[in-house]
Homo-oligomer: A and B are copies of this chain.
Amino acid sequence: MSDAADTKYRERMATKKQVVDERIARATIERGVLILMKGNGKGKSSSAFGTLARALGHGHRAAVIQFIKGRKATGEYLFFKDHPQVNFHVMGHGFTWETQDATKDRDAALAAWAQAEVYLQDPNYHFLVFDELSYMLKYGHLEPERVAKALAARPAHQNVIVTGRTMARELQDIADTISIVNDERHAFRQGVKAQPGIEY
C-alpha cells in the first residue's frame, strides 16, 4: 500500500474511532433490556440462542421457553438442555397447525406463560429467551396486556429476547431494542430441504 493510501486509511479509522468512542461515552445507563427479533427472515431464533451462548460465556443464569415446537428434537435443545446454567422448556405438543385443537393449544400456551412469569419474577435469572412467543398472541392464546405487564415488571438487570414474525404493539411499546429480520432470499424457495444444524 502506498504512503498516501496508508495515511488515508489511518485518517478514516481515526474518524471512526472518534465516532465509536463518543457513542460509547454517551451510553452510561446500566440495566437489562427487552429485545424483540421480528420479521419473516431467517435468523431470529438463532440470534436468541447465540445471545444465550454469549450470556452463558459470562456465567449468567438463563432460561428458555420455546412456545412452538416441531416434531423433532432441535439442535438448540440438544445442545443446551444439559447445561447447568440453563433451564430449557419446550411447550406442550407439536405445531399448532398439526394439532388444530384450540383448547389444547391455549392450555399449553397458558401453562408456558405461567412458567415465564415465574422467571420474570426471579432476579437470579439474568437472561430469558421466549422463542416464538409472538404466535401465542397472534392466535389469541395469551393476552398482550398480561404479557407486557409481566415483562415490564421484571427485575431491573434482567435481559429478555422475544422472537417471532409479528410483534404485538404492547410489546413494541416497552421494547428497548427491535430488530426486523427481512427475508431477501431463502434457500427453501430454491428447493433446498430444511436441514439439521441450520433450520432446527
Q: A residues within 8 Å of B by Cβ? A: 1, 5-6, 9-10, 13-14, 16-17, 20, 23-24, 26-31, 33, 35, 37, 39, 41-58, 60, 74-80, 95-103, 105-106, 126-127, 139, 159, 175-188, 190-198, 200
Contact A179 B41 (CB under 8 A): yes
Contact of A194 among B27, B45, B60, B175 (CB under 8 A): B27
Q: Which residues of B contact A178 (CB under 8 A)?
A: 184-185
Point out which of A29, A57, A97 has the most chain B C-beta atoms below 10 A from its C-beta: A57
Instruction: Indicate whether A57 sits within 8 Å of B77 (C-beta atoms), given known contacts A37-B43, A46-B51, A177-B186.
Output: yes
Note all chain B residues with C-beta closer than 8 A to A139.
9
A31: chain B residues within 8 A (beta carbon):
192
Of B33, B80, B127, which one neighbours A192 at CB under 8 angstroms? B33
Chain B nearest Cβ from A92, distance in angstroms: 15
Docked complex Cα distance between A74 and B187 (Å)? 31
Report whether A42 and B102 are in contact in the complex, using a CB–CB cutoff of 8 Å.
Answer: no
Contacts A30-B193, A44-B43, A79-B53 known; A100 to B180 CB distance under 8 Å? no
With a CB–CB cut-off of 8 A, which chain B residues contact A196? 54, 58
CB distance from A95 to the nearest CB of B (A): 8
Q: A1-B106, A53-B79 are in contact. List 16 more A-B contacts (CB 8 A).
A: A9-B139, A10-B101, A13-B99, A13-B100, A17-B95, A17-B100, A24-B194, A27-B193, A41-B179, A46-B50, A49-B50, A54-B200, A57-B74, A57-B77, A126-B197, A176-B185
Most buried by B among A14, A54, A57, A195: A54
For A194, the chain B residues whose CB sits under 8 A away are: 24, 27
| Min distance, Cβ A108 to any Cβ of chain B, angstroms | 14
A53, B41: Cβ atoms closer than 8 Å: no
Q: Would A100 and B176 be within 8 Å (CB), given that A75-B58, A192-B33 are in contact?
A: no
